[in-house]
Amino acid sequence: MENNIFGKTNSKVSKLGLGLAQVGFQLGYDGYKEANEILNYSLDNGINFLDTAAMYNDSEAIVGKSVGHRRNEYFLATKAGTGRTNSPDSEWTYKKVKASVEKSLKNLQTDRIDLVQLHSCETHILEQGDVIRALQDCKIEGKAKFIGYSGDNEAAAWAVKSNLFDTLQTSYSIADQRARTKNILSEAANRNLGVIAKRPIGNASLLGVKHNNNNALKFQEVLKSGAYDEYFNRMLLVTKELNINLNEVDPIELSMAFSLLQKEIHVLIIGSKNKSHVKSNLEFMLKKRDNLENLINQYQNMFEKLDVNWRQLT
């Protein structure tokens, strides 16, 4: 497993992390057996970065139950807040953020969380300062070792430039490149922030394009495969303009390589509800990616050419 020093945290983390939204939303306690296998298999095979959130239903509690006894083996990241940019301001208060962290500690069966992130609040909430102060106080109290912001667009840019956070989690993929083109990633690197890429394979949108081009799936079935319709439409357009035959390349491997080769990113978090998917991702981490660099450059250039208002998707 490739490892990185996670920015100013100086923590050694695996380049491939495990996102745990699917464990919470899709498996839950009814799928605990599979979730337990995914978590322990990941740790056994070199993944040491676990990313969950208070609002991912049972996710935190499943992590605590499954691998709480292995606490010293992984870097634990969670998020406080609603995860929705349209939440009313009343959901973003000092008291609620502090209470969220306390509940997370209990669910995760730990007395310390390596990283607590604010979960996608908008810029004006950050500017008010109360929710940031809540995380700062958790850090002073030893409940959070580091604090970060998870979000996109103007709020992500504000969080980076504020110099108040240790890390940034933001959308970045072959279908969502604004963090690069709008200099969010370069600004984060200049400030030595630990950078986490969420949705680094673009919700498998490129795989959806391949199936669509082969007439193997109807459009609605492509959407059900996990690709956001916005991501799918972007990749359909870009791939068509490039005149690339996706039968000659593995779309998932190309999507992973695209994000892996972005030098400012320390960790890619990819979720799964199936251990076999984790196994496939781990296998790809052992492969060389140099042969995909030319194709990646083509997707970068065409994205910039066609980007009319392709904002990061939260």
Give pLDDT, residue 227. Answer: 52
Q: Give the pLDDT band (50/70/90) at residue 1.
A: confident
Give residue 224's pLDDT: 54
Name the residue with higher pLDDT: 230 or 264.
Answer: 264
Per-residue pLDDT at 217 exceeds 60: no
pLDDT band at 221 (very low <50, low <70, confident <90, very high): low
CA dist., res. 96 & res. 193, Å (int): 26
Instruction: Tokens for 77, please give them.
Output: 């990241």
| CA 206/CA 80 separation, integer angstroms | 31
Instruction: Report d(CA 197, CA 225) in Å as an integer.
Output: 21
Give residue limits of the domains in the chain: 3-201+259-290
pLDDT for residue 212 is more than 90: no
Listed range (60-74, 143-157, 217-231, 251-265) with the worst mean pLDDT: 217-231
Q: Contact at 8 Å (CB) between 195 and 189?
A: yes
Q: What is the pLDDT of residue 314?
A: 83
Place of tokens 């240790």: 166
**Cα four-point dihedral sign 34, 35, 36, 40:** positive
- Residue 105 pLDDT exceeds 90: yes
% of the chain exceeding 70 in pLDDT: 95
For residue 290, the model assigns a pLDDT of 86
Alpha helices, DSSP H, located in the chain: 21-22, 32-44, 59-67, 94-107, 123-128, 130-140, 153-162, 178-181, 184-190, 205-213, 219-224, 229-242, 251-260, 275-285, 293-306
Q: Is the pLDDT of residue 23 over 90?
A: yes
- Write the pLDDT tens digit of every residue in 132-166: 999 999 999 999 999 999 999 999 999 999 999 99
The yes or no reply on domain 3-201+259-290 and CATH 3.20.20.100 is yes
Averaged pLDDT, 253-260: 95
User: How much is the pTM?
Assistant: 0.93
Instruction: Determine the Cα–Cα distance for residues 220 and 212; give it in Å rounded to an integer.
Output: 10
The average pLDDT across 106-124 equals 97
